[in-house]
Amino acid sequence: MNQELTTEEKAALKSIAKNLETFNKQRGNLIPILQMVQEHLAYLPSEALRMVAEYLEINACEVYGVATFYNQFRFHPPGKHPVKVCLGTACHVRAGDIILENFERKLGIEDGETTADREFSIERVACVGCCALAPVAIIGETVHGHMAPSKVEGLLMRIEIEKDIAKREKEKSESEQT
Amino acid sequence: MVALLVNDREIEAKNGTNVLQACLDNDIYIPHLCYLESLDLPSASCRMCFVEIAGEDKPATSCTTLVRDHMVIKTDTPAVRRLQRTALRLLLSVHRVDCKNCYAHKRCELQNIAKFLKVGLKSKPLNRYLKDTDIDEDHPFLNYYPNRCVLCGKCLHVCRNQHGQSVLTFANRGFNTVMSLYAAAEAPSPSCEDCARCVDICPVGALALKVNQEASIHHPTEK
């Protein structure tokens, strides 16, 4: 389930190890510690879970059990373009689950996961406050209302194209400078 | 010692025992899945061991009720049976009923209880909700079958009793709850192969030793 850690994350793990020592070695501190770890890393990689388990002298599986119980903990790094699909009442009625399914199929990941290149992550949310636009999906900061299964591919393609354009412009400005 | 009346039969039990244990000791069967004698605080999570106690307006879980002198208990009232049948049907609605291919066939507690309560193994009228993964093979010695598990937690308890800490845990929530062998897969405790207490205690066929799986039989009593 785990992806390779980036170098920044490895550095963050070290500062987490230092931070751990400010906590008492009590089982009751498990959730505050996990929250601290997630604040540093934005998610809980298995390396971090094992580190916490070692520090509190409990089994890693117990840490995993507690962490999976709470919605606030995530096990995959957030993508550069987080896709949030609304499954609130209005979006549910307008078949938001089909939109979610489409994103999952197009990106090849499940809800709560992140693509291997860390570009996209899918999350289901419950109401984003614009029920009149149902079904709604949010990609990055942009709200896309009146979603349809056929629009999913276009939206993802647009992000790819925008990325390409930005890359080309960067190359162009670099070549002009030299 | 206290005396209590169960189904019009007088039985004796030690002070401090619970009603379920007292009944079982006297050959009065009450369906149950999650109860173990070694539990300090029974969780009553299987919702099976209901009995009706005179003077109380609702059926109570017998594993969490301590015996009192002159208690009058009925184990087979319509209200009790209704609760038990509903609990069983709910369990069956998330259970892969494929008894022929399950090694626990004929010594499965779910089958026994279904027979006792006269409930068919079909989940009718409830929908069947199965998890996507049928088998979890991450652990080097154990296989786990999420769709057979009744989440009684007995494996967790015996593992903790034996090793101080359990390598099993409940993971996720709601319909997605499973027993997880997380991390045990990466750093297997060598004792798992020889211990297998979790496999022996499992009331259904949710845990199995890999070795025995290959031979496709597992009879803990004959080991």
Chain A interface test: which of B139, B151, B165, B169 (most A C-beta within 10 Å): B169
* pLDDT value, residue B189: 63
Q: Which residues on chain A are in Cβ contact (under 8 Å) with B159?
A: none
DSSP string covering A39-80, please?
A: HHHSS--HHHHHHHHHHHTS-HHHHHHHHHHSTT--SSPPPS
C-beta atoms of A64 and B183 within 8 A: yes
3 state SS of B44: coil
pLDDT averaged over every residue in chain A:
90
Rounded to a whole number, what is the distance in Å from the CA of A69 to chain B's nearest CA? 5
C-beta atoms of A68 and B173 within 8 A: yes
pLDDT exceeds cutoff 70 at B184: no
C-beta atoms of A59 and B183 within 8 A: yes
Q: Is the ipTM of this complex over 0.85?
A: no
Give the pLDDT band (50/70/90) at residue B223.
Answer: very low
pLDDT tens, per residue, chain A with 178 residues: 456 788 888 888 888 988 898 999 988 999 999 999 999 999 999 889 989 999 998 888 889 999 999 989 989 998 899 999 999 999 999 999 999 999 999 999 988 899 988 899 999 999 999 999 989 999 988 999 999 999 999 999 999 899 899 999 999 888 888 7
Q: Residue A56 and residue A21: Cα distance in Å, rounded? A: 10
Q: Provide the residue ranges of all domains of chain A, joining segments of one domain with +.
A: 7-69, 81-167
Which candidate from A58, A64, A69 shows the least CB-CB separation from B182?
A64
* pLDDT value, residue B48: 94
Which candidate from B165, B170, B184 shows the least CB-CB separation from A65?
B170
Give the pLDDT band (50/70/90) at residue B182.
Answer: confident
Give the pLDDT band (50/70/90) at residue B221.
Answer: very low
What is chain B's alpha carbon radius of gyration, rounded to the nearest angstrom? 18
Domains, chain B = 2-76 (3.10.20.740), 87-222 (3.30.70.20)
Provide the token pair at B171: 């993971």
Q: Kind and range of the H or E element at A162?
A: helix A149-177
Ramachandran region, residue A112 (left: φ > 0; alpha: ψ -120 to 50; beta: rest): left
* pLDDT value, residue B150: 95
pLDDT, tens only, A59-86? 888 899 999 999 899 899 988 999 999 9
Q: Which residues on chain A are in Cβ contact (under 8 Å) with B181?
A: 61
* pLDDT value, residue B190: 65
In this structure, which topology does domain A7-69 adopt according to CATH?
Answer: Arc Repressor Mutant, subunit A (1.10.10)
pLDDT, tens only, B91-146? 999 999 999 999 899 899 999 999 999 999 887 789 999 998 899 888 888 899 99
pLDDT, tens only, B41-75? 999 999 999 999 999 999 999 999 999 999 999 99
Which candidate from A50, A58, A64 shows the least CB-CB separation from B180?
A64
pLDDT exceeds cutoff 90 at B83: yes
Which candidate from B172, B173, B180 shows the least CB-CB separation from A61?
B180
* pLDDT value, residue A176: 83
For the domain spanning A81-167, the CATH number is 3.40.30.10
